[in-house]
A and B are shown apart, each in its own frame.
Chain A
Amino acid sequence: MVRRRGWLIGAALAYLLAAWQAPPGFYDGFSPQRPYNWVSPPPQLARGNKPPQSAIKVVSVGEAMASGVQVQTADQQASLVIPAGALQPAPGATAVTIRIDPVSAFPDPHGLAFETNVYRVRADAQLVKPMSVALTFSNQVPAPSTIYEARMGDTTWRPLPTQSAFIYQLDGSATDFGYFVGALPPQRRTASGSPLGSQLLLLVVGGLIFFVLLAGIPYLMLRRRSHRSDGS
């Protein structure tokens, strides 16, 4: 029994270590998502929608150079992590201002399916190293796969290297300020423009698995009982 308890304690420590790497820890994903605040909500989500929030942060040049900067909107829908030394301020500047604003005017999507607000990120300094951009998304719309960026003065949306490190959140790496959005690429949409098509196959496959299993298990049980009674 002592040996078994040792294994259990070891497993508990291993779990705690693993869970610490992926905040908040073990998570089965059932929680209702925090309501997403839309600039222009989809019609079915318009009721009760609140406007999304901006963020502004002013830091000293010394702090930006030494520690980096983290900026997050108050509703936690968009955030930046700018590493130390990644900002190059104008000569003579003593502080740097970084802004995140949800915007309604932005470059044409060119077929991309925008599934989050578009956020404009500006700073009065140049970015000389990559920064992290995190965008959360609603669980009431198709999950976006990639963060896209359109640089200031440019009309082209470019995909950023993106990963999903957290439930309902995309994390991308950007080398410049500009407009950012979570989106699905054009080929993931149906000809009618509806994102449902991309979900339909998944639904059919899921439904089939359900059907086969739900019908198959009682069948196997009946056959098993039948075999037992034959044997006895």
Chain B
Amino acid sequence: MARLLSRSRLPGLLLTAAVGVEWGRALVERLPSLALPALFVGGLALGGLALLVPREALGLSRRALPARALSGGALAAVLLLPAAARSFVPVPLTGLIGLGAAMVAAGEEIAFRGALYAALRSAYGPAAAVVGSTAAFTAAHALSHPPRFLLPVAGLGLLLGLWRWAFDDLLAPIVGHVVADLAL
């Protein structure tokens, strides 16, 4: 078991777990009555993957919290720009659906840009961490999105992955992703 969690094997384990949770969630959500519980369970499961890497490697330190949170708002603005430019009328999420969606968005960031990124960087370096977490994030959406939507998903993964690399920060991607999901 120690070998299973070794530095080179942890990325594979995290990738399988994160993509598996997302695929499982997407399949369960096809039954409308289970969609809401699937959001909560999926969000918790994704967030739980953070427990498999050291806390200090997640990019969630307390330094410059307000600035990083504000940066998350800027990231959200970039993510929402195409919809805003098209005058798309959003349906803001509220109540339990909003809470569940926020949990999944935060969970996805913790799993892909937090735990998986940290494990990949530790094992193979930052380039592999950015590319690998982006590829895994895109694959994770393959069952829930039509193929045409996977390109923007990959674009988002790359942007947030590069943010993580440039500033060693996960808070802004979490804020940006949550806000974008709640707004759209």
Contact = CB atoms under 8 A, between A and B. Distances in A.
Among the interface residues A32, A165, A206, which one has the most CB atoms of the partner chain B within 10 A? A206
Given A25-B81, A26-B79, A32 B104 contact: no
Given A21-B151, A29-B145, A220 B159 contact: no
Interface in B137-184: 144-146, 148-149, 151-156, 158-159, 162-163, 165-166, 180-181, 184
B148 A28 contact: no
Size bracket of the B interface: 35 or more
B182 to A, nearest CB: 8
Interface string B65-104: 0000000000000111111011010110100010011001
B21 interface: yes
B128 interface: no
Is the contact region of chain A dominated by helix, strand, or loop, or is it mixed?
helix
B116 interface: no
Interface in B46-81: 48-49, 51-52, 78-81
Interface of A: 1, 4-5, 7-8, 11-12, 14-32, 34, 139-140, 142-143, 163-167, 199, 202-203, 205-210, 212-214, 216-217, 220-221, 223-224, 227
Interface of B: 1-2, 4-5, 13, 17, 20-21, 23-28, 30-32, 34, 38-39, 41, 45, 48-49, 51-52, 78-83, 85-86, 88, 90-91, 93, 97, 100-101, 104-105, 144-146, 148-149, 151-156, 158-159, 162-163, 165-166, 180-181, 184
